[in-house]
Amino acid sequence: MVKYIFVTGGVLSSVGKGILTSSIGKMLQARSLKPTVVKIDPYVNIDAGTMNPYMHGEVFVTDDGGEADLDLGWYERFLDLSLKQDNNLTTGTIYRSVIEKERHGDFLGRCVQIVPHVTNEIKNRIKYAGRSVNADIVLVEVGGTVGDIEGLPFLEAIRQMRVEEGYENTLYVHVALVPILDVTNEMKTKPLQHSVNELRRIGIQPDIIVARSPQMIDAETLRKIALFGTIPESSVFCSYNAETVYQVPLLLDKQGMGDFICQRLGFKCDTKDFGSWQTFVDAMLHPEHEVNIALVGKYAGLTDSYVSMTEALRHGGAACKTKVNISYLEAEKFEREPNCVKELQNFDGVFVPYGFGPRGTEGKIAATKYSRENNLPFLGICYGFQLAVIEFARNVAGLTDANSSEINPDTPYPVIDLMPEQRGIEIKGATMRLGTHKILLEKNSLAYQLFGQQEIHERHRHRFEVNLDYIDVLKQHGLQFTGKSSDGLRMETIELPDKYFYFASQFHGEFKSRPGRPSPEYFGFISACINKKLGKPKPFPNNNSSFQ
Ligand code: GLN
């Protein structure tokens, strides 16, 4: 029998539901249980792929090519899972499927309604997520805030699941903000009380309430929350600000949350073991070194736009006992004030992330040029890879005004061009080259040293790629293409072996980066940054004599 834990949020969004849900999963895993996770996003979009990262944060790419909400990234990082696009439900996916069934005639002449047809579709998908992977528990995070109009059919569906699956198989967790008023230094529970009331109005009585607060709540606040929430004090927990989010499962477990959940759901869990998680957290909390990284991007104002990249850099840092300080720099600044690019000398490494469209690209190219010419460790991912090829084409291979046809369709040298199968595609949703593809690495290369094997599998999300017409000229000038798709026609990595560390990939290593098992390209980059800072020889000496 699969059991279900539903996580809702109140007062405001971004209250940390994703981290809480992931942390619950971690506490269950520590007790040898097998959780999976479903994220519900009540917006009407089919998936996050068509949404601006500047408003919604990054688009997380799953192995099967889903363009998902960034919370799936947190679940994967915390629980070391490979989730599928089916683990992310939106109003769009639910209604599309209900409407397709209606057109197909599956409802036998009935009037199709939110209850039961839409709610049945939601419940079936939640149950399928558990069944399909043989999970013990499905964690269901309902995005948005209780009371949102779009969320209602989803809340109704999870309300029904209590009736259908039984009390002992379902658990409702509600998390809400408990702010501290700076004038009086007082913890305020009223907004939380209102959100619990709103949830009850919909027919859901929470079993657990989590106060999200800057500090651990005091006894009086806890008592109040329990009283007004109609739950015992032992089912009130506090998720307070931690130095790193990876501490949260440990902090909640210490308060007894893991034991409480297992008891309530009838799991017999006498022992628990967080395994290497604690070691990883300790490495994050007690670094021996520090590096300063310049992330030169387009969505620098919203760090959630780069959350997987940020975490991958941190995972790499923890593996080198190094604290990674990231400055999110707006690339356009280097266009407006070209001299500012020199400020990069204050950093230990330059990182150019993913991106779309022309804005900021010249600034990113300037930053890439600066790091190449000044031998600053450099890592470029996806757009960062493509822009590095452009920079090299222009400034080393002499292809003046080389560009990507995404940025300038009239460039004389389209060194980056639309992939052939993308031509003629007009629909934007889910039409990029997505998900995991095989990559073959040259043996005698930095790529091989980093990944330690010739065949790797990494995730992708792009429409453009290196134009094969320019490979020879770029190679002649020293740019090495060391990773390729299995048919050899897609360039996946570049490197400059003379440099201390210069590496870029078309694929996104960050999506598979895990605490304690960092993405090799991110690990390599951070370890180069720290080694160079400490005046050591480069960590990945690349004997290039026999390189083809
Ligand atoms: N805009 C580029 C492309 O579509 C790069 C995409 C990305 O960085 N994810 O190919």
Calpha distance 159→146 (Å, rounded) = 13
| Contact indicator for 542, 501 with CB cutoff of 8 Å | no
Calpha distance 275→292 (Å, rounded) = 30
CA distances from 204 to 18, 173, 232, 264 (A): 20, 10, 16, 17
Q: Does 206 share its domain with 327? A: no
What per-residue confidence (pLDDT) applies to 48?
93
Atom of ligand 1 nearest to the CA of 461: 9
Question: What is the Å distance from ligand 1's center to 464 Cα?
Answer: 6
Residues near ligand 1 (Cβ within 6 A): 354-356, 382-383, 386, 406, 461-464
Calpha distance 22→140 (Å, rounded) = 10
| Contact indicator for 117, 16 with CB cutoff of 8 Å | no
Question: What is the Å distance from ligand 1's center to 61 Cα?
Answer: 13
Q: Does 258 share its domain with 390? A: no
If you ran DSSP here, which 8-state letter would residue 43 be given?
S
- Whether residue 38 lies inside any domain: the answer is yes
Amino acid at 163: V
Residue located nearest, by CA, to atom 8 of ligand 1: 354
Question: What is the Å distance from ligand 1's center to 199 Cα?
Answer: 41
Q: Does 339 share its domain with 241? A: no
| Contact indicator for 308, 295 with CB cutoff of 8 Å | no
What per-residue confidence (pLDDT) applies to 34?
98
Q: Does 178 share its domain with 225? A: yes
Domains held by the chain: number = 2
Residue located nearest, by CA, to atom 7 of ligand 1: 354
Task: For a ligand 1 pocket test, name from 461, 466, 490, 492 the mutation site with the most ligand atoms within 8 angstroms of its C-beta.
Answer: 461
Question: What is the Å distance from ligand 1's center to 382 Cα?
Answer: 6
Q: Does 60 share its domain with 147? A: yes
Atom of ligand 1 nearest to the CA of 416: 10
Per-residue model confidence as pLDDT tens for the chain (548 residues):
999 999 999 878 778 899 999 999 999 999 999 999 999 999 999 999 999 888 889 999 999 999 999 999 999 999 999 999 999 999 999 999 999 999 999 998 899 999 999 999 999 999 999 999 999 999 999 999 998 999 999 999 999 999 999 999 999 999 999 999 988 888 999 999 999 999 999 999 999 999 999 999 999 999 999 999 999 999 999 999 999 999 999 999 999 999 999 999 999 988 999 989 999 999 999 999 999 999 999 988 888 999 999 999 999 999 999 999 999 999 999 999 999 999 999 999 999 999 999 999 999 999 999 999 999 999 999 999 999 999 999 999 999 999 999 999 999 999 999 999 999 998 989 899 999 999 999 999 999 999 999 999 999 999 999 999 999 999 999 999 999 999 999 999 999 999 999 999 999 999 999 999 999 999 999 999 999 999 999 999 865 544 33
Q: Does 190 share its domain with 337? A: no
| 378-381 vs 349-352, strand pairing mode | parallel
DSSP 377-396: -EEEETHHHHHHHHHHHHHT
Last residue in a domain, options 260, 279, 298? 279
Per the structure, the complete domain to which residue 324 belongs is given by 287-419+430-533
- Whether residue 19 lies inside any domain: the answer is yes
Residue located nearest, by CA, to atom 3 of ligand 1: 462
What per-residue confidence (pLDDT) applies to 543?
52
Atom of ligand 1 nearest to the CA of 419: 10
- Whether residue 548 lies inside any domain: the answer is no
Q: Does 270 share its domain with 308? A: no
Residue located nearest, by CA, to atom 5 of ligand 1: 383
Q: What is the CATH number of the domain that holds 194?
A: 3.40.50.300
What per-residue confidence (pLDDT) applies to 546?
40
- Whether residue 544 lies inside any domain: the answer is no
- Whether residue 121 lies inside any domain: the answer is yes
SS3 538: coil
What per-residue confidence (pLDDT) applies to 85?
96
- Whether residue 543 lies inside any domain: the answer is no
Q: What is the CATH number of the domain that holds 510?
A: 3.40.50.880
| Contact indicator for 529, 378 with CB cutoff of 8 Å | no
What per-residue confidence (pLDDT) applies to 542?
67
| Contact indicator for 250, 240 with CB cutoff of 8 Å | no
Sequence-distant (≥ 6) Cβ neighbours of residue 446 within 8 angstroms? 482, 495, 497, 501, 503, 524, 540, 542
What per-residue confidence (pLDDT) applies to 55?
83
Last residue in a domain, options 257, 279, 301? 279
Q: Does 393 share its domain with 453? A: yes
Q: Which of 11, 50, 543, 76 is nearest to 308 (CA)?
A: 76
Residues serving a catalytic function are 382, 508, 510
Residues pairing with 455 in the sheet: 440
What per-residue confidence (pLDDT) applies to 528?
98
Q: Does 325 share its domain with 207? A: no
Q: Does 197 share its domain with 61? A: yes
What per-residue confidence (pLDDT) applies to 368?
98
Q: Does 359 share its domain with 446? A: yes
Sequence-distant (≥ 6) Cβ neighbours of residue 18 within 8 angstroms? 39, 70, 71, 74, 75, 141
Sequence-distant (≥ 6) Cβ neighbours of residue 457 within 8 angstroms? 436, 437, 438, 439
Q: Does 392 share its domain with 473? A: yes
Atom of ligand 1 nearest to the CA of 406: 1
Task: For a ligand 1 pocket test, name from 365, 419, 425, 463 the mutation site with the most ligand atoms within 8 angstroms of its C-beta.
Answer: 463
- Whether residue 540 lies inside any domain: the answer is no
Helix, strand, coil fractions of the chain, as percent rounded to 5: 40, 20, 35
Structure tokens, 545 = 């004599």
Last residue in a domain, options 221, 248, 279? 279
- Whether residue 424 lies inside any domain: the answer is no
CA distances from 317 to 45, 273, 295, 528 (A): 36, 24, 15, 11
Question: What is the Å distance from ligand 1's center to 2 Cα?
Answer: 39
